[in-house]
Structure 1
């Protein structure tokens, strides 16, 4: 037993030096972690000071609510844009005009046919016939570029001109 005590006493400076070395390494690691923690805390405080919110959980919840609200608004806007585009395609935006002399050599190009169409070639053709005695205007409805009424060559040309419009 005395041999054991002597052995421990001989090794005691090495054991103490090893323990001190471990404590010193742990102390350095703790200082490094403290510096990192202070830097992280400073960044966190800077982030939280500009929001007016006390903790990060409340901030994240608030941002989630805002994001959900924005997504709902985006879906509503998408629906409104789709409706507007549908209505826009139904508007008579394509117009073709054909002027002509309806009575041959007697007169000038005062007669006309105007086709007003939407994207589906629905709309109408207005024809104005002018002569010395008066002026007559006729309207013919169109569905798919065709009418239930007979169309003159000039009215057909006006329809083609309107369909070619971009």
Structure 2
């Protein structure tokens, strides 16, 4: 009978169950609040270290300075690209490809003492210098080139020297 009496008390007092349940919820919320407080403290410490005490106003100044530096660097990069492009065009026009072809101008006597020397750029502008070596003397001829052609007739040896100069670029 004593057991029934205890059960009757619990059933008759439903507010006791509610009170116990609410106490458990409050306890859980308190624990959660302590955990979140600890995490917030760690986050504040990290934020303070990251900001080095500069504050929000300091952060805005830093961002503005970084944007200004970035703009200046982008302008400098554009300038460098333009300079490189200009230099590439100048280099292409320089006469730096050289081809030399030695040959025997007179097959029946002598040796490969005659030559044709081509000095041209990537656009095939430049000159061909030819030396015809004979027994007693050497004759030297120069022919200007524009786009691989000359106003003067080119010999097969001179054409070979031009082709050799063009192959050096590859």
TM-score by length of 1: 0.74
Residue of structure 2 equivalent to 1:98:
101
Aligned residue pairs: how many?
A: 156
Alignment of 1:126-141 (within 5 A): 126-141=129-144
Residue of structure 2 equivalent to 1:38:
41
Aligned Cα RMSD in Å?
Answer: 2.8
Question: Please, which of 142, 146, 153 is the counterpart of residue 145 of structure 2?
Answer: 142
Q: Which runs of 4+ in 1 moved over 4 A?
A: 10-26, 52-55
Alignment of 1:16-165 (within 5 A): 23-49=26-52, 53-55=54-56, 56-165=59-168
SS, match of residue 95 in structure 2: coil
SS, match of residue 113 in structure 1: strand
2:19 and 2:70 map into 1 onto residues whose CA distance is: 59
C-alpha displacement of 1:105? 2.5
C-alpha displacement of 1:84? 2.1
Greater displacement, 118-127 / 97-106: 97-106
C-alpha displacement of 1:150? 1.1
Greater displacement, 121-130 / 86-95: 86-95
Shift in CA distance, 53/141, structure 1 to aligned 2, threshold 3 Å:
farther
Instruction: Mark the runs of 5 or more structure 1 residues left unpaired by the alignment.
Output: 1-9
Shift in CA distance, 67/40, structure 1 to aligned 2, threshold 3 Å:
farther
Instruction: Mark the runs of 5 or more structure 2 residues left unpaired by the alignment.
Output: 1-12
